[in-house]
Structure 1
Amino acid sequence: MLPVEDIYTQLVSQLKTQPMTLLQAPPGAGKSTWLPLQLMRDGHFQRIVMLEPRRLAARNIANYLASCQNENVGQSVGLRIKQETKVSANTRLEIVTEGMLTRMLQNDPELTGVDLLIFDEFHERSLAADTALAFALESQAALRDDLTILLMSATLDGQRYQQFFDCPIIESSGRSFPIDEVYIPLKDESRWLDQIPAIITQAVNEQVGSVLVFLPGQREINRVQQALTELPTDCQVFTLFGEQDKATQQAAIAPAKSGQRKIVLTTNVAETSLTIEGIRVVVDSGKRRTASFNLKTGVTELITQSISRSSAIQRAGRAGRVEPGVVYRLGSVQTFERRNSHDAPEIVSTDISQLLLEAKCWGAELSDLRLLDPPAQQQVQQATKLLQMLEALDGKEKLTALGTQMLGFGTDIRLAHMLIKAQQLESSMPGMYSLAAYLVALLESRISHAADLNLALHSQHARPHPIFKQQLNYWLKRLKLSPVAELKTKYLALLVAFAFPDRLAKKRGNGYLLANGAGAELSEEFWHNDDYLAIASMGGHKGGRVFAGVAFTPAEIESELGHLFYQQTRCEFDEKAGRFIHQDEIKLGAITLSSQPSQQKLDKSERAKAWLNMFKKHSFSIFNEQSESEQLLIRMRLASKLLPEQFPAITEQSLIDSADIWLVAYLQDIKTLDQLKKFNYCEALQNVFDWQQQSALKALLPLRLTVPSGSNIRIEYQLDGPAKLSVRMQEVYGMTSTPLLAQGKLALLMELLSPARRPLQLTQDLAGFWQTSYRDVQKEMKGRYPKHFWPDNPATSIATSKVKSKM
């Protein structure tokens, strides 16, 4: 009996009464297979759509469930993944990948006929899953109050999700079979991969059954496969990863032959929702390949990093699906326990241009959507800029007809833009549309090819790689094109520019400057030395290395991508020369194509922009030291930190970023660098806060404090640590407690001074000082300063700033 069967009745009851339910069930509990099939068979829902994060898992689950029905996929159990759709009028349970559900919702926001959505393995938190769930929640709230949503995983961040979605959680306790854990400490972190073959050999010799080995990617799989040379004769090695053909994948998943054991080297494609027959041993490297988006270059690079504890639990669960198992983990128990509890969601570390375009097409802003982890403002800005370059959004950030068309294309939006533009230009540029199909096939096949795209395409045209050929056939069929005898590669640079307008680049020193403002360098295989390069593939360290591109001239792309070109007048102050540079320029994004002395008169607004750029470069250090202004800056930052409900977030960087709002108007009458350095920015800075906030700042974090003597003493603030009030001791007689700042959230350190203004005592507890340490100070000071007042009870005495004779 599967664990999920124990909670089936309770789950059905919740699904029938609640709009959303969370199910947390261990690997092998039957949540991805037995549960959806039973819900369909019992007729609780008319049509169920279940999302799977990966195509391999989706296909295998659909095949398994269809076989349980003694049917082929496409009858009662359907499948909808990229390049493969098998559904019919009889389909009642449909297995889809997340991007497919987003398309279904965009095409039919009511999801007509569907009454249950299941998000399987939701802990993986892919961008597509977050997008689909946000749209489904909106559909449920506005159009379909009868639509039920079920989120499932073995390792949900249950408490957080339950609180965010305000929904019940059901837990299926227990694992089908116990799993022993063996930890293998790392000898050398930098050589972790070298230990894997020995661990596999150890596991094979110590255990019975087949072995599943988790590695970050195909490169590591190939290295380990080559190193496994001393295995028992009954062991056969298989590989399993996403880019393989279906036959190779099925061979890895199938049961081992009688008397044989399998060693399956895989990526995290086998981490969830996939049962490989006969596996009772898992060897976990503890590593995964993950996408890391570089906001500066606009490139998503793949990096190798440690997995979270939840992913490690998922991987180990593969060993206990059909019998008791064991997991061998690379690393110590202490290392395992220091890992993050869950992997970071994709939405916080990836290019969100697809999400932003989906939201625009949906008719919503990102802030309108219920997203567990909203993207950062920098991500939104980068995505908006890219979508405008791709003509999907106009200058006012509104969705264009082309943007809608790109989304409906069902592929990466960059490639969709290229294909649509190529189709539009086919009549005037014959052969461009076919060339675009060949280029898409090359880029999507991810095969190794020459760095020069011209050479790469001609090579594949003459001797196609099997994966390239498969992709090409798909695209030719879809676009209703035929193979061509000759490729019109004279259009290649324009096609690359259509897809990657932000990666048009101009030579700069030993590298290139990209249109998006980032720098790039050539990989060792790239021999290009052209002035201009259209880049299709980048990566490497910080995403700044060029892997594939083609030379271009600005003239050949300007006629079709005119919106990327613009004229501007640049005004900046040359600090070395001590003068203004005033130039008329033609730009391609951040690239300067031509520049000449401006014909326009240098006006005060242009000059102010130049000063503003200097401020953004040097920050507040550009101004001469001015204590009052510096203290105001610290007080404003403290207010935003200590009282965020009253004051907007203020950091030095946020002030730099918004300087064109609060500072630029004050710079218009400044004509020289010396004047700029002497500029008192206090008035400009305080206007970042509105009148009410300025008044509250003065009350909560005053610049000065009136003490019992009547003196108005300045407070010195610092970003870290207490504020400091330096005052002569006689002036605070009668003060019974240390004053409170920021509603008691910021400590005040009182530096009590002698009549000669030398430090006598530091205290944050004035009342305690009067009762204790003051006696010692009194004895010493009476002899040193006999003309001054040293009362026995300072807490009740009259404060003074004078000597005794003048009191």
Structure 2
Amino acid sequence: MLPVQDIYQQLVTTLQSNPITLLQAPPGAGKSTWLPLQLMRDGHFKRIVMLEPRRIAARNIASYLAKCQNESVGQSVGLRIRGESKVSANTRLEIVTEGMLTRMLQNDPELSDIDLLIFDEFHERSIAADTSLAFALETQSALREDLTIMLMSATLDTERYTAFFDCPVIQSSGRSYPIDEVYIPIKDESRWLDAIPTIIKQALNEQTGSALVFLPGQFEILRVQQALSDLPSNCQVATLFGEQDKANQQTAIAPAPNGMRKVVLTTNVAETSLTIEGIRIVIDSGKRRAATFNLKTGVTELTTQSISRSSAVQRAGRAGRIEPGIVYRIGSKQTFERRNSHDNPEILTSDISQLMLEAKQWGASIDELTLLDKPTEQQCEQASNLLNMLEAIDSKGKLTPLGSKMLSFGADIRLAHMLLKAQILDDQLPGIFRLAIYLVALLESRVNSANELSLALHSQQQRPHPVFKQQLKYWQSRLKVKDENSELNTHHISLLVALAYPDRIAKKRGNGYLLANGAGAELNADYWHNDDYLAIATMGGHKGGRIFTATALNPFELQEFLPHLFSELTRCEFDEKSARFIHQDEVKLGAITLSSQPSKQKLDKSERAKAWLSLFAKHGFALFNEQPDAQQLLIRMSLASNLMPDKFPQINEQQLIQNAALWLGVFLEDIKTLTQLKKFNYFEALQNCFDWQQQSRLKQLLPLRLTVPSGSNIKIEYQLDGPAKLSVRMQEVYGLTSTPMLANGKLSLLMELLSPGKRSLQLTQDLAHFWASSYRDVQKEMKGRYPKHFWPDDPANSVATNRVKSKM
């Protein structure tokens, strides 16, 4: 009996009375197989759609459930993944991958006839799953109160999720079979891969059954596979990863032949929702290949990372599915316990341009979506800039008809833009659409080994890699384009790359390149190009800034087809080296200057002010000569906004520099030289950031001067951190029994008591305590040094003076 069966009735009751429910059940509990099938068989829901993050898991679950029904996939149990749809009018339980569910919601926001959505392995938190869930929640609240949502995983962050969704959690206790843990520390962690084959052989000698070995990617799988050539004859080695064809995947998943043991080398595709019969040993490298997005370059780079503890639990669970198992973990137990509890969600580490476009198609902004984690402002800005370059949104951020078509295309939006535009341009540029299909197949198959794209395409046309052939066939079939035997015309390849990667158009700069998005890039060591301009298809390496594949480009040939990328502007800036204004008319492609010549326009006041503001943005207030009064005003205004935010607007130095055009610009229009600028007194401009009433209140709460008992008006020195300071001769504060406070008691005053010769005698914030204690020592010393001045025995009750004794 599966563990999930114990909580089935409780779960059904909860699902029927709550819009959203969390189910936490360990690996092997039956949540991905027995549960949805039983819900369908019992007729609790008319039609169920279950989202599976991975295609291999979706396909295998659909096949297994259909077999349980004595049917083929497409009858009561359906499947919908990219390039494969098996559903019918009789389908009541449909297994879909993430992108498919998003398309279903976009095409039919009401999700007609669907009354239960199941998000399996929700802990993986892919950006596509977050998107689909956000849309589903809106459908549920606005259109379908009868729609039920269930989130499932073995390792949900239940406390956070139940609080966020305000929903119940049902937990299935206990794994089907116990799993022992073995930790294997290694001396040099950088050589972890070399240790894997030895650990596999050790595990096979110590244990019975077959083994599942988790590795980051194909490179590591092939390395380990080569090192296992000397295994006993009864051990069969298989590989399993996402890019494999179905036949090889099924071979890896199938049970070992009678009398044989199997070692399956896999990536994290086997981490969840997949049962490989006969596995009772898991060997976990503790590594995974994960996408890391570089905001600066706009490149997503696959890097090898340590997995979280929750992922390690998922992997170990593969060993206890059908009998007691064991997991061998690389590294010490202490290292394991220092790992993060959960992996970071993709939405915080990925390019969110697809999500932003999906949201616009949905009719909402990202901020309006119910997302467990919100992307940063920088991510949103980067995505918005890219979507504008891809013509998916207009200058006002509105979705364009082309952007809507790109979403429905079912491909990466960059490649969708390239294909759609190439199709339109094919009459004008014959053969470009065929070339675009070949290029998409090359980029999606990731089998290219040449730096120059045209060479790579000709190579694949002559000797195609099986994965390239598979991708090419898929796109030709989907776009209804017949294959031709003629030589591929790669003349327009640079235009196609620019259509897909407009942000990666690059201009030579020193030993590297400047990208249109403003980032820098460098050539891969094997790259032999030395062109002034490149259209870059793939980048990666250190910080995503190394060029791997590209082709030469004439940027001016793009202007006819991509005019929105080009801008004409007048640049005015002050060059500090030559101490003169540069006033140029320029043509730009993003951050790249394509041409520049002396401007034909007269330099006006506003342009000159903008140049000064650019200089101020670079140097800040250090640009101006030292101005104590203005500097004190800035500190007082900043203190006022911090101490009394209800009375004063927010003011700080960084904010003033960023918004200088609003308060400083008009004052700079008549300044013609750098010398004049340095001498400019910004006191009045700064003061105007407060209105008249706020200025008056500032003088009252944080005054420039303080009247002391002697009648003197003494200047106060303010600082951003710590108390304000008042330096005053001791005789002038006799009779003062407590230290004054500023800003209605919110800012303390540090009193520096001076000798008649204005030498510091005492620093105090508690004047009464000083009079009653340390004053005696000061009096004794000062009476001898300054006998003409007044040194009373009871200063707290004496008359203050600024004169010598004879004139008091």
Provide TM-score, normalisation by structure 2.
Answer: 0.91
Q: CA 1:750/1:140 → structure 2, altered by over 3 Å: closer, same or farther?
A: same
Q: CA 1:207/1:684 → structure 2, altered by over 3 Å: closer, same or farther?
A: farther
Counterpart CA distance in 1 for 2:196 and 2:15 is 44
Q: CA 1:76/1:608 → structure 2, altered by over 3 Å: closer, same or farther?
A: same
How far 1:210 sits from its partner (Å)? 2.0
Residue in structure 1 matched with residue 775 of structure 2 by the alignment: 778
How far 1:732 sits from its partner (Å)? 9.6
Superimposed CA distance per residue, residues 275-333 of structure 1 (whole angstroms, 9 cap, x where no aligned partner): 22222222222222211111111111112222222222222222222222222222222
How far 1:555 sits from its partner (Å)? 3.3
How far 1:230 sits from its partner (Å)? 4.6
8 A Cα contact 1:73 1:79, kept in partner? yes
Residue of structure 2 aligned with 1:717, choices 716, 719, 738 = 719
Q: How many residues align?
A: 795
Counterpart CA distance in 1 for 2:312 and 2:614 is 48
Counterpart CA distance in 2 for 1:227 and 1:305 is 23
Cα-Cα RMSD: 3.1
Percent identity of the aligned residues? 67
Residue in structure 2 matched with residue 603 of structure 1 by the alignment: 604
Secondary structure of the residue aligned to 2:192 is: helix
Residue in structure 2 matched with residue 481 of structure 1 by the alignment: 481
How far 1:187 sits from its partner (Å)? 1.5
Residue in structure 2 matched with residue 55 of structure 1 by the alignment: 55
1:605 aligned partner, one-letter code: S
Counterpart CA distance in 1 for 2:12 and 2:647 is 46
Residue in structure 1 matched with residue 670 of structure 2 by the alignment: 669
Q: CA 1:737/1:106 → structure 2, altered by over 3 Å: closer, same or farther?
A: farther
How far 1:696 sits from its partner (Å)? 8.9
Q: Which runs of 5+ in 1 are unaligned?
A: none
Residue in structure 1 matched with residue 517 of structure 2 by the alignment: 516
Secondary structure of the residue aligned to 1:521 is: strand
Residue in structure 2 matched with residue 298 of structure 1 by the alignment: 298
Counterpart CA distance in 2 for 1:798 and 1:141 is 76
Q: Which runs of 5+ in 2 are unaligned?
A: 784-788
8 A Cα contact 1:49 1:116, kept in partner? yes
Secondary structure of the residue aligned to 2:774 is: helix
Q: CA 1:778/1:18 → structure 2, altered by over 3 Å: closer, same or farther?
A: same
Counterpart CA distance in 2 for 1:204 and 1:406 is 50
Counterpart CA distance in 2 for 1:375 and 1:495 is 30
How far 1:170 sits from its partner (Å)? 2.2
Residue in structure 1 matched with residue 418 of structure 2 by the alignment: 418
Residue in structure 2 matched with residue 570 of structure 1 by the alignment: 571
8 A Cα contact 1:703 1:715, kept in partner? no
Secondary structure of the residue aligned to 2:358 is: helix
Of stretches 95-104 and 750-759 in structure 1, the one that deviates more from structure 2 is 750-759
Residue in structure 2 matched with residue 219 of structure 1 by the alignment: 219
How far 1:236 sits from its partner (Å)? 2.4
8 A Cα contact 2:714 2:726, kept in partner? no
Query: What aligned pairs does 1:56-205 form with structure 2 within 5 A after superposition?
Result: 56-205=56-205
How far 1:335 sits from its partner (Å)? 2.1
Q: CA 1:112/1:663 → structure 2, altered by over 3 Å: closer, same or farther?
A: farther
Of stretches 704-713 and 462-471 in structure 1, the one that deviates more from structure 2 is 704-713
Secondary structure of the residue aligned to 2:491 is: helix
Residue in structure 1 matched with residue 308 of structure 2 by the alignment: 308
1:717 aligned partner, one-letter code: Q
Of stretches 50-59 and 309-318 in structure 1, the one that deviates more from structure 2 is 309-318
Q: CA 1:319/1:652 → structure 2, altered by over 3 Å: closer, same or farther?
A: farther
Secondary structure of the residue aligned to 2:379 is: helix
Counterpart CA distance in 1 for 2:377 and 2:583 is 32
Q: CA 1:176/1:222 → structure 2, altered by over 3 Å: closer, same or farther?
A: same
Counterpart CA distance in 1 for 2:216 and 2:650 is 39
Q: CA 1:92/1:644 → structure 2, altered by over 3 Å: closer, same or farther?
A: farther
2:416 aligned partner, one-letter code: A
Provide TM-score, normalisation by structure 1.
Answer: 0.91
Counterpart CA distance in 2 for 1:799 and 1:168 is 74
How far 1:477 sits from its partner (Å)? 0.5
How far 1:547 sits from its partner (Å)? 1.1
How far 1:778 sits from its partner (Å)? 2.5
Counterpart CA distance in 2 for 1:647 and 1:114 is 54
How far 1:449 sits from its partner (Å)? 2.5
Secondary structure of the residue aligned to 2:139 is: helix
2:170 aligned partner, one-letter code: I
Superimposed CA distance per residue, residues 628-685 of structure 1 (whole angstroms, 9 cap, x where no aligned partner): 5556666777788889999888776665554444543443333222233334445656
How far 1:469 sits from its partner (Å)? 0.3
8 A Cα contact 1:58 1:79, kept in partner? yes
Q: CA 1:659/1:174 → structure 2, altered by over 3 Å: closer, same or farther?
A: farther
State the structure with more CA Rg. Answer: 2
Counterpart CA distance in 2 for 1:628 and 1:311 is 60
8 A Cα contact 2:792 2:798, kept in partner? no
Q: CA 1:437/1:11 → structure 2, altered by over 3 Å: closer, same or farther?
A: same
Task: Report whether the alignment pairs 1:760 with 2:745.
Answer: no
Superimposed CA distance per residue, residues 197-238 of structure 1 (whole angstroms, 9 cap, x where no aligned partner): 333233223222222222222222222222335534433222
Residue in structure 2 matched with residue 587 of structure 1 by the alignment: 588
8 A Cα contact 2:741 2:749, kept in partner? no
Secondary structure of the residue aligned to 2:109 is: coil
Residue in structure 1 matched with residue 541 of structure 2 by the alignment: 540
Secondary structure of the residue aligned to 1:785 is: helix
How far 1:185 sits from its partner (Å)? 2.5
Residue in structure 2 matched with residue 319 of structure 1 by the alignment: 319
Query: What aligned pairs does 1:619-698 form with structure 2 within 5 A after superposition?
Result: 619-627=620-628, 630=631, 656-681=657-682
8 A Cα contact 2:771 2:795, kept in partner? no
Counterpart CA distance in 2 for 1:310 and 1:648 is 46
Counterpart CA distance in 2 for 1:641 and 1:186 is 53
Counterpart CA distance in 2 for 1:330 and 1:107 is 46
How far 1:688 sits from its partner (Å)? 6.7
8 A Cα contact 1:789 1:804, kept in partner? no
Counterpart CA distance in 2 for 1:163 and 1:389 is 39
Q: CA 1:558/1:762 → structure 2, altered by over 3 Å: closer, same or farther?
A: same
Counterpart CA distance in 2 for 1:345 and 1:646 is 41
